[in-house]
Chains A and B, each alone.
Chain A
């Protein structure tokens, strides 16, 4: 999986401070705007918040994977944030969140490769060993390496 297609080290943040989920998402939307990934932080934020309203993206194990699909997204991307103090995210396991994967998805992304990378990444977050490695990482480099080096173990057996 060539994660480097959608992720660069600049898009990994550590020791990020935010008091609440909304404050966190707002600052990250502004950051995406500054990085030139979205054309409007407000419009992108709206799509992310609308998705949060449907059901929580706090998937447990201190991970949240908020995402917005919007015309404001210029290039399908992902930013990864390790927060300084855990944030309440109304997660499935009720635990506060330490690691946030924010996905910005182009409204009409014709490039399956980008979406495939994001989907694979999402699936990998169900792997406890991988998640604890990420949670133990303290620097951008450690997180980047853990992501790039991780390979999904195939767990499927022959059905017939």
Chain B
């Protein structure tokens, strides 16, 4: 089944890993046939910001973060998993599978 997955990525410096993790997740989701949107919380601020409507329809949310998630109240009550930002860079498919197992 095609799932709707949201992700937030963030790392300490906010320049490299945040964006690598985002790309890795998007790529793996596409290969697995799921729909994914990734919000990056980096040195340039929040980009590709997730909307309340997207949160409402999402099946699960992945937080791939080494820092505190900014504006976390948006995701309250949703199913989610939290992993280090390096985890999807290493194996994004595994992280997506883990997230889906929460649904």
Chain A residues with a Cβ under 8 A of chain B: 51, 54-57, 59-60, 65, 67, 69, 92-93, 103, 105, 109, 112, 115-116, 118-120, 122-127, 155-160
Contacts and interface: CB of A to CB of B under 8 A. Distances in A.
Interface of B: 4, 6, 12-13, 15-20, 22-24, 26-27, 30, 35-37, 40, 42-44, 53-54, 57, 66, 84, 86, 89-90
Nearest to B56: A160
B37 A92 contact: no
B16 A65 contact: yes
A126 B27 contact: yes
Contact of B13 (A51, A127, A159): A51
A60 B54 contact: no
B51 to A, nearest CB: 8
A115 B20 contact: no
A92 B40 CA distance: 21
Contacts of A159: 4, 6, 35, 37, 54, 57
Given A92-B89, A126-B23, A126-B89, A57 B37 contact: no
A112 to B, nearest CB: 5
7 contacts: A51-B12, A54-B66, A60-B89, A115-B15, A122-B17, A122-B19, A126-B27
B57 A160 contact: yes
Nearest to A59: B89
Given A65-B20, A119-B42, 19 more contacts: A55-B86, A59-B17, A67-B16, A69-B15, A92-B86, A105-B13, A105-B15, A105-B43, A119-B18, A119-B40, A122-B17, A122-B19, A123-B23, A125-B20, A126-B27, A126-B89, A127-B23, A155-B27, A156-B26
